[in-house]
Chain A
Amino acid sequence: MSLLSTLARLEAVRSGHAEPLATVRHRHLSDRPLVLVPLAAAAEDGAPLAVLLGTDRSAPRLHIVPQPLNRGQRYAFLAAFAADLLPYLESCAAEVERIEGSEKDPQTGEKIVTFRELSADAPQVIVPNHGAVQHLGLLGRATRFRRTAEDPDPGRYPAPAQVPLLGRWLTHLTDRAKVPGSSLLLPMTGLLARHWATGQSQLEDQHLGAQLAWHRATSELPGAEAARLVESGRDERGQLLHPPAGPTTDPRFDEKLLGPAIGRYDAALAALRHAQDEDGPESPRAQSAQASAERAVEQLRTLLHAVMLPTWHDVWHGLDLLRTLPPGAHLPERWESDRWSFTGHRERVAAGEPPQPRRDDAVTAARKLAQREREQVRTDVQEALDDPLAMAERRLAGEAFSGEVTELVPDWDTSGRTPKPRPLLTVRTTDHPHADLGREVHRAWGPSVQKAVITAVDPGQGLITVRVASGMGRKKEPEPGSLPAVGERVTFTLFELTARQSAPLPEPDDTPWTHGGPPSAAQDSPTAAEEWE
C-alpha cells in the first residue's frame, strides 16, 4: 500500500465514508457482464454447492448440488452450469473484425498479407471476491480432464459432454485473471478497492458486504459501524443478516439450516428408493415419495437462493458504483488484448487442441511470466497517463515531476550537417524526483512523443532543466505548439511511456533441452479414472 492510499484510508476513517482512489475507471466494463456468485461445499476442497449467475440483475439463475458429496449430482450440476455459461461465452463471438497483418512467406521470404479474425466482443465474468476466482480455478482443474461418453474410451464414469469444455473455459478465465489489467474475469472486491479506499484494512476489504458498507454509509450509520453490522449482525435464529459472499458459507448456516435441509433430502431420497424397491416404481407410495424428494430439493433451492441473493445484489451495486466513473482513455486498448485472448482460446478449442496441462512446461511458464511482467508495466504506465491520481503516486515515488515552465531557451545541435533544435526547458516543481544528470525523461500528455535529458538540477529552488531531444518536427525551428510555453504546466516521467518490447522467446521447438525443451503432451491426456474411487 502506498502512502497516498494510506492517506485516503485515513480520510475515510475521518469521514466514515469511502474515499476516491482514482478519478477514472481503470478496468473495462462490458455492456453485458455476466455476474456469477459461486458457493463451495465445506465438505471438500473444490466441491461446488451452488452457483447463481446471469446477465440480467432481475433474473438470476440458480443451480445447486442437493447432496454435495454425491459425485453424480456434482456432474449433473456442472452440466447445467455449463449449459448456462457456455452460450454466453459463445454469444460474445457472434461478430468478428478482420484484422490485416503481414507474415513472411517461409519459402520465398516475401511479405504476404494475412487476415485474422478478432472477436468484436469478449465475455466478462464478475465474481464477488478473490476466493470465488480461486474456486472457479479449482472447478476448472477438476473438470477439464474428464472424459465424456463421446470419447473413444469413456471409462467407467463418463461426464456429461459439456463438462470438460466448461473446465477449459474456467481454466482460461482464471488464468487470464492473473494477467495485470485484464478484464475477462474480475473480482468485485478488487475492482472496488482499486477505485475507492475504505477506513478499514485490506484484509477486511476482502468481505464484499463490509467493503460496500463504506459506500452505503450515512451520517447516522458511519462506515465502520455499518461494516461491523454486515460482518457480525445476526438475527434471532443466529443467522448472519448479511451472509458472506462466499465461496465458503457461514459455519452456523451449515450447522443450523443447510445440514438439516440436506439431511431431509437424504431421508426423502432413501424413502423413495425404499418405496420403489418394495412397491415398484409406479406405486402410489413411490409417487408420493418422489413428490416429497422434489419438495426437499425445492426447499434447498429456496434456502440457498436466499443466502446468495444479497451477494448477487451487492455485485450489481458495485457495478453501478463503477459505472459512475468515466472510463480511462486506454481501456479500449487493453480490452483488445482481452478480446485476442478470448479469440485465441476459442480457436484452440475449435482446433481440437488438448486441455491446458496440469502444470505448464518450462517454455509456456516463461512465456506467461514474460507476458504478465509486460502487462504489469503497461498497465502501470497507462493508469498513470489516464488518471492524475495514479500519476501522483508516481510523483510521490520520485518517478515523475510536474511543474510550471519558467524558462525556454532555444538551442541547436550543430554536430550534424543541418542544425537540429535542442531547446532547454526549465521547470519549477515541488516534486522530488530521482533526477540524476543525464537521465532521460519523457513528457506526459504532450502533443507528441517527446524525450528530453536532464541537464541541471537545483533542489533548493525546485528547478529542473531538461534539454528536449525529440518530438519537434524535422525543421530547424521546432514545430509550433510542439513545445510548452512559459507558464504552462508540464509533467515529465522518468519511466518510458510505452512498454518496451522484450526480445522474443524462441519457438517451443527451437528451445534447447536445457531450458525445458519441446513440450510433452503425454502426461496430460484426459483421464477416465482420476478422482473417482
Chain B
Amino acid sequence: MDKTALADRLGQPAPFGRSPFAIARGNIFEARLKADGCAALLDPLRSRLGLPAGDDSPLRVPDLLPRSGPAARAARTAQALAEAVAEPAAWTLLDHPMLRLTVAGSPAYLEPDAVVVRGGRCTVVEIKSFPVLDGAADPAKVGAAARQAAVYVLALQEAAGQRADSGPYDTQELPGSPELSVLLVCPEDFSNRPTAELIDIRRELATTRRQLARMTRIDELLDALPPGTSFDLVPDVAGQPTRPVAELTAAVESVPAAYSPECLSSCELGFHCRSQARCEGAVEQLGRGVRGELGSIRSVGEALAAAHGDAPEGDEAAARLGYAAALRAEALGAQAMAGAVAG
C-alpha cells in the first residue's frame, strides 16, 4: 500500500521527501566510485579487507540484468554469486544485485549497493554520501547504514543456506556466506574522495533476526483485521483517489498504532496518528519519557486532575504530580506577588 498517498488522502500529508540535490549527490558519488572498473572502490577494499598489495588480479563485474523484473534479477544474482564463489582466486563485484529474504512468510526483494566476492566469501558494500569528518561520521547515520546492511547480510546468509537456528555470532564457513562486517564507503571530509571503514554488524544482525523471528505471519495479521478492511484508494483513470475519506479513516483506525513524537520523523502517517493522540488526550503526544514519569496516568485530563488535587488516594504518581503542581503554583505566585509589589 502507498502510505504517502494514503496520508495525503486523510488530509495529513507526510512532510518528507528527499531533495533532488541530495539524490543527485548520492548518485554522483556512487557513479564516481564505480567508474573505471571500480578503481576508486578497489583501493579502500584491498586495504580494509587485508589483502596483499601485489594482488591485482582483474575485477569481474558480471551483468546482473538490471532492467528485468525482481524475480529474474534475483535468479541471475544467485547464479552470478555461485559462479563467483566457485573461483576463489578471482575478484568479483556484483553491482546492485537483487537478493531475496523471507519476511513474515513472504518473499521480499532487496538491492544492496554492491557485493564483493573473493576467496569464496562475500562482503556487502554500502555506499553512503554523508561524509566521514576527521575520522568520525554522524553515529545516527552510521547506525542506520549498519541496520540496513544487516538485512542484506541476512539475505545472503539465507542464500548460502545457513541454518536459521544457528547463533547470530556463528560464522559458518559455507561457500558464499557473507562476512559479518560490512564495508561502509563514504566521502572523506568535504571532498569526493572515498574512504572506507569495516563495520561489525553482528549486533544489528542479531537484532534484525530476532525482530524477523517475532514477526507474525502476514495472513495471521490479516485475520485480526475486520473483514473487508482495505487501504485501497481506488484511483480512477486519472489516478485521483475515489474512496471516501471516512471509509479510509475507519480502515486506518481498525489498525492500532502506538504513537510517539519520534514517529513524525519516520512514518508517513505520523501526523495522522498525532492528531488522533491529541483528540484522545494521550500523554504520549508529549514524548515517550512522559509516560514513564506519569505512571498509571494515561490521559492529559487525568494528569491535570491529579495535579489539582482530584487524585485517587494512594496513587504515588498522582501524589507527586499534585506536589509538583503546588510547588509550581507557589513559585509562580511568588513572582506575581513580587511583580505587584514592584509595580
Contact = CB atoms under 8 A, between A and B. Distances in A.
Interface residues of B, number: 55
A295 interface: no
A521 interface: no
Interface stretch (B63-71, B79-87, B129-137): B129-137
A191 interface: no
Contacts of A23: 331-332, 334-335
A341 to B, nearest CB: 23
Interface in A1-59: 1, 3-4, 6-11, 13-14, 20, 23, 41-47
B331 A43 contact: no
Contacts of A47: 190
A532 to B, nearest CB: 7
Q: Shortest 6 CB-CB distances between A and B: which pairs?
A: A42-B19, A201-B261, A251-B17, A388-B331, A23-B335, A254-B19
A10 B192 CA distance: 48
Given A6-B286, A7-B325, A13-B300, A531 B261 contact: no
Interface of A: 1, 3-4, 6-11, 13-14, 20, 23, 41-47, 68, 138, 141-142, 199-204, 224, 228, 231-232, 248-249, 251-252, 254-255, 259, 358-359, 387-389, 391-392, 395-396, 430, 530-533
A7 B304 CA distance: 8
Contacts of A46: 131, 190
Given A3-B320, A44-B190, A201-B261, A252 B307 contact: no
Interface stretch (B8-16, B41-49, B173-181, B229-237): B8-16
Contacts of A4: 324, 327-328
A444 to B, nearest CB: 13
A205 to B, nearest CB: 10
B214 interface: no
A43 B19 CA distance: 8
Given A43-B22, A203-B261, A389 B290 contact: no
Contacts of A224: 278
A259 B21 contact: yes
B15 A42 contact: no
Given A3-B293, A203-B264, A254 B21 contact: yes
B289 interface: yes
B134 A203 contact: no
Interface of A: prevailing SS: helix
A232 B17 CA distance: 13
Contact of A359 (B134, B265, B283): B134
Contacts of A45: 130-131, 133, 190
A10 B21 contact: no
A392 B330 contact: yes
B189 interface: yes
A140 B321 CA distance: 45
Contact of A3 (B22, B300, B324, B331): B324
A333 B330 CA distance: 28
B285 A251 contact: no
A440 B12 CA distance: 56
Contact of B327 (A14, A41, A255, A396): A396
A389 B331 contact: yes
Given A232-B12, A388-B330, 14 more contacts: A1-B287, A4-B328, A6-B290, A9-B286, A10-B303, A41-B21, A45-B190, A138-B133, A254-B21, A255-B19, A259-B20, A389-B331, A391-B331, A392-B328
A402 to B, nearest CB: 8
A286 B325 CA distance: 73
B30 to A, nearest CB: 14
Contacts of A391: 331
Contacts of B261: 200-204
A9 B289 CA distance: 13
A142 B324 contact: no
Contact of B189 (A249, A255, A396, A530): A530
Nearest to B186: A45
Contacts of B192: 533
B23 to A, nearest CB: 9
Contacts of A252: 17
A251 B285 CA distance: 26
A479 to B, nearest CB: 27
